[in-house]
Every structure is written in C-alpha cells, then in structure tokens.
Amino acid sequence: MVLEIRVGHTPDADDAFMFYALEKELIPMGDFKIVHQVDDIEKLNKLAVSHELEVTAISAHALAFLKDYKILSSGGSFGINYGPIIISYKKSLDEISHHIVGIPGYMTSAYLLMSIALGKLNCHEMLFSEIPGAIKNGTVDYGLIIHESQITYVKQDFSKLFDLGEWWNAKTNGLPVPLGINVASSKLMTNDMIKAFDSMLQSSIKYSLNHLEEAIEFSSKYGRGTEKSTLTKFVKMYVNPYTVEMGKDGRQAISKMFDMALEKGIIKSIPPLDYSY
C-alpha cells in the first residue's frame, strides 16, 4: 500500500539539493508517495506546532515549541565554524542594543544563538531574503542573515560585525553549529515509517553528493539569481557529513544550544529531544 505523506522543506538551494532525488524519484521510494510543500523556514516552524505535515524541516530552536516529534538523523544543516552573521551598513556592534535588528524569525536557531551571545535585542521579524534590502532602506539598522546571504553580503557593501559560527566554535570547542533539522510527527507516522523515511532521505542526500552537477543545477531554481559558483559554495557548506548523519556531535550540539539558552534564562526548560534512531 502506497502511503502519501506531506514533506516540508525550504525554498533554498541546500534543501533542494537534499531533496532532489526524492522529488525526481531517482531512488527507490519504498511505500511512500511524497507531496512536497516548499515554504520559508519560519512558516514551517509554525506549521510544525499544529502537526500540519508528516515530515518537515524546522529550525533546531523550534524544538522548544514542539512535542510529539522524532528528530531525523539525516537532513540537518550544521555549520562547521561558520553560521549566521550579523551585518550592518554603517553602524558598529557596540550600538546594536539601541537599534533594530532584522531577523528571519523568532523560532529560528539563528535568533536563539544571537540571543545567547548578545542578550535580548529589539528585533523585527521579516522574510530572510528581505533583510539586506531592509538595512539599505533604513527599515532596520542591523541584519541577522542566513542562507546564501552569508556569502553574497560582501558584494553589497555591508560590514560583517559578528559571526555566530565562529563564536559558537570557540564556546563549544569545535561542535558543529546546530541550525536546521528534519523532524517527523509521531502523531501522524509510526516509528517504523519514520525510520524508513529517514533512511530514504539519507539515500537522497547521498545521491546528490554523487551527482553533484545535476543536483546543483536542480537546486539553482531556488538560487534567487545567485551565481552558480556561489550557490555551489553555499550548498557544500551546509550539505556536509553532519547532513548525511548528524551523529553524536550533532546531537551534542543541539543539547548544548538548549543548555546555554536555559543558563541564560531564555528558555524555562530543555525540550524533549527524541531521536528516530
């Protein structure tokens, strides 16, 4: 019997790269028929609260707002001494507490990491792709940037004021930066189904890594005009060994982020971290 499941991922090159073989059915699909739902990460975070999708990409931070989910071993986005960046046009980091920071969402890992590092700031939530433009037109004074903007900002006369990836690396003695993960709803899927999907997603990621050029070409539809060389660099940054299998270090990094958030009083308790394996 074929099981139709709804799977959420973001309109970003790294997610498209991971899901390429699944979307094109280039690998064995088992008993699954996938309906892909492509949305901004903060929208997926909010959809997860009400179990709208069987499987979805979320920010690791979103686990603090969820229950009845299994964390998949594959498909995670972890930085390796790099991660979200705070940029500005003409201001210094010393002034940040007196101005407005554009952020890609209050449930994003980028926002949580910034809050751990710099404390509570005056923020304005907006679509991640709109943040550089909002700095230029004066809507916000600083921007917390994710996705390919972490590379392309240098061409737009912005100054990098704070690299959360480098900060995290120093604070944790080299743990990967926990940013995005994939989760499956325990309300909508059995444990066996979740494990089967996790294995299939891992196969899809490996397929793309073994067919790099065609997978990058497919991913470019979400490149927002970014040059192919830049897009390839970005994909290789966030589709790394932790994406294939987050392993012990990935799990430790997620736990460490919540431990630090609890210590700072940002969260009241550590959320349940229930892994599929």
Helices (H), 142-227: 149-152, 164-171, 191-210, 212-219
> Are 193 and 69 in the same domain?
yes
Mean pLDDT of 180-185: 97
Query: Can you tell me the mean pLDDT for 230-236?
Result: 84
Beta bridge partners of residue 103, listed in sequence order: 125
Top-confidence residue, 154 or 135: 135
Cβ distance 241 to 38 under 8 Å?
Answer: no
Residues 31 and 71 in one domain: yes
* pLDDT higher at 228 or 268: 268
State whether 185 and 73 are in the same domain. yes
pLDDT at 91 exceeding the cut of 90: no
147 flagged as catalytic: yes
Question: Do 198 and 162 fall within a single domain?
Answer: no
Instruction: Mark whether 40 and 153 lie in a shared domain.
Output: no
Residue 93 has pLDDT above 70, yes or no: yes
pLDDT at 87: 92
Question: Which residue is associated with the tokens 């603090």?
Answer: 64
Is residue 239 a part of any domain in this protein? yes
Question: Do 88 and 157 form a contact (C-beta atoms < 8 A)?
Answer: no
pLDDT of res. 225: 64
The answer to whether residues 91 and 147 belong to one domain is yes
- Within a domain: residue 273? no
Q: Which residue has the higher pLDDT, 139 or 159?
A: 139
Domain termination residue (choose one: 115, 142, 171):
171
- Mean pLDDT, rounded, for 169-179: 96
Judged by DSSP in three states, 177 sits in: strand
Average pLDDT of 247-257? 97
What tokens were used for 209? 């890594």
Sheet containing strand 100-103, edge to edge, reads 122-125, 100-103, 142-145, 85-88, 159-163
Q: Could you tell me if residue 254 is inside a domain?
A: yes
Provide the pLDDT confidence category of residue 153 given band limits of 50, 70 and 90: low
For residue 176, what is the DSSP state?
P
Last residue within a domain, chosen from 118, 150, 171: 171
Angle of CA points 182, 187, 193, to nearest 5°: 60
State the pLDDT at residue 224.
Answer: 64
Residues 145, 216, single domain; the answer is: no
- Domain limits at 139? 85-171
Of residues 51, 61, 99, 147, which has the active-site annotation?
A: 147
Task: Calculate the average pLDDT of the chain.
Answer: 92
Rounded to whole angstroms, what are the CA distances from 36 to 31, 50, 89, 259?
A: 16, 18, 37, 33
Domain annotation covers residue 221: yes
In a domain, 268, yes or no: no
Residue 41 lies in a domain: yes
**Segments of 26-151 assigned E as strands:** 32-38, 55-59, 69-71, 77-79, 85-88, 100-103, 122-125, 142-145
* CA–CA distance, 60 with 71 (Å, rounded to integer): 9
Do residues 34 and 167 share a domain? no
Q: Are residues 135 and 196 in the same domain?
A: no
User: 104 in the Ramachandran plot: left (φ > 0), alpha (ψ -120 to 50) or beta?
Assistant: alpha
Number of domains present in the structure of the chain: 2
Q: How confident is the model at residue 63 (pLDDT cuts 50, 70, 90)?
A: very high
CA-to-CA dists, residue 68 to 62, 106, 181, angstroms = 13, 21, 15
Q: What is the pLDDT of residue 27?
A: 97
Same domain, 100 and 165: yes
Q: What is the mean pLDDT of residues 83-96?
A: 90
For residue 98, how many other CB atoms are within 10 A of its CB?
10
Domain membership of residue 53 (yes or no) is yes
Confidence label for 205 from pLDDT (cuts 50, 70 and 90): very high
Q: Tell me: the pLDDT tens digits for 17-46?
A: 999 999 999 999 999 999 999 999 999 999
Q: In this model, does residue 234 exceed pLDDT 90?
A: no
Alpha-carbon span 122 to 100, nearest angstrom: 5
Residues flagged as binding site for substrate: 109-110
Per-residue pLDDT averaged across 55-73, rounded? 97
| Binding-site annotation: residue ranges | 109-110
274 lies in some domain: no
CATH number of 9's domain: 3.40.190.10
If asked whether residues 195 and 251 sit together in one domain, one would say yes
Domain end: 127, 151, 171, which one? 171
| Domain co-membership, 112 together with 229 | no
